[in-house]
Structure 1
Amino acid sequence: MEDRYSRQQLFRPIGMNGQQLLQQKHVLIIGVGALGSASAEALVRAGIGRLTIVDRDYVEWSNLQRQQLYTEADAHEKLPKVIAAKARLQAINSQVIIDAHILDASSPELLLLLETVDVMIDATDNFDIRFIINDISTKYKIPWVYGSCVSSYGAVYTIIPGETPCFHCLLDVIPTSTLTCDTAGIISPAVQIVAAYQVAEALKLVTNNKEAVNRKYKTFDVWQNQNMDIDVGKMRKMQCPCCGEQAIHPYLAYENQTKLDVLCGRDAVQIRPPKAIQYNFSELVQQLQQHGHVQSNAYLLSYEVPEYRFVLFQDGRVVIHGIRDEQQAKKIYYQLLG
């Protein structure tokens, strides 16, 4: 095992000193879907000291095409992604400390996980969470690496508090699209390229090679053979509410956080109760199995009828698949849980 990282240490910018630094660092990955699972595996293989992974979802069959940590057995059992991911990651490198959290990445939950975190990696699929990550970054001076991909397109940008424009500063220049994985699909090479760039940026930061960080907003289309780096260095705004001179970090405020949202990329609505609620799964299984198909494990309960699928997590959070109307989702939620 002593030569485990020998090839990485031969890479001069890392070397022995960089490897030792890497093994003392802590990275937080928010989301372990396509981008998150690829980044988590790369960092674990590289020998990161500690990795915290956060995700609210469970493994589905449609994930297997691009989310490399998961298997058919995980999809069959509907295992929460962080549970399946942790098992695979620990099998890859048992020396890494891995903390896995099944939760929705709102600011109260993320703030509890920040102790000793050196870098955050964005592997989410919605802007609500990205703005929370951005505010956490600017307030607590923790760098983060943004990443997104859809179809054959991808984008990456590294935010270093106090040195680069923050994510909010770039709202006027970030290329936007109405495409989602659900409408335009996605190919795994786009995922792997974004994840590779994100991990490379994280490695630069945790091995004290900050001068090598790409401070441009990088985009590419792997199918159309297009690449572009946007120089955003002058986009930092002194009046930005997130990183400016009078920053108020608005996205950490409770009233600015989404409690009910349509999940990106699929017909599903998530509902979060005002506070965590623990239900008796055994009782619910008996009640619900009279009306539809029920499946449960230690982490969640799934109830399915022809019109929709209702998934209840241990903390009371619910995802209702098969609908996009929020009012209809609320109605189903109260019908089943009271």
Structure 2
Amino acid sequence: MNAIEVHDLHKRYGDRVAVDGVGFTAAEGSVTGVLGPNGAGKTTTVECVAGLRRPDRGTVRVLGLDPRRDRRALRAVLGVQLQEAALHDMLTVAELVRLYRAMYREGTDPERLIVAVGLERQAGTRFDRLSGGQQQRLSVALALVGAPRVVILDELTTGLDPRSREDVLGLVRDLVTDGVTVLLVSHRMDEIERLCDRVLLLDDGHLVADASPAGLIAAAGLTERVRFRTAGGFDRPALLALSGVDGVTRVGEEVVVAGRGDLVGAVGAELVRQGVVATGLREERPTLDDAFLELTGRRLGTGLDEQVAA
């Protein structure tokens, strides 16, 4: 069963089209990543799903609920963590979590959740005295305190140190184990690859691709490469005849074999058969970042988009 269903979503701001015909589904208990450069329509899309923005056209359903018409019912089953939290500066961590918990008929124990996000030492600290990373973890706690069945997480680990980041990612994995559906917006390719069952790639308001991380790489038509160095000759036709090999190139002593499948094993075995002395034999697999670059012409790194010259 699908927890989220979006069909033909459109949204514009004045003359600028932010979202143009986006449609997708997210199965219950899955993690769906939303990926794209700045201005691609990611935030507008998830805000429409959360009921924070009204689409100009199209339909959105979360567990069968219309986010605008059924707002009261949706609040009971949906948790939202936005990139920038606007919370009461004078309230402490514990006070904020307890306040949010009081808004729900059912939910998670505030003290237990504070420990889960690693803020037990800051429980008595006011919001305005928390570091950026601590504020981010508090936002995650507030999104989860109502024990939601669907969670929207926007730039989940921004500002977190490596240990805190791993703790928060562990929370996401625990949510999925409990059957919660997660919609994750992130610039972090490694997070998308590690956590997501599917990836929605948005660019200029359009849905460019909807696939698993591996499927997105395949959709970009990227190949694996095996590199090695040899000073002597080798049987190039024999390498080309190997299953999955698309091409063999040589520049000086470096040889590159491109293709798909278990290339490194096949190439290594063939070189041994030929008696070729090869050094530095290594495999290079295409990444989600490579696929993003191929499909959009941009490289998405640590949050800054880099336009690639044609």
- Per the normalisation by structure 2, the TM-score is 0.29
Higher strand share: 2
Q: With CA pairs under 8 Å and 6+ residues apart, which has the higher RCO, 1 or 2? A: 2
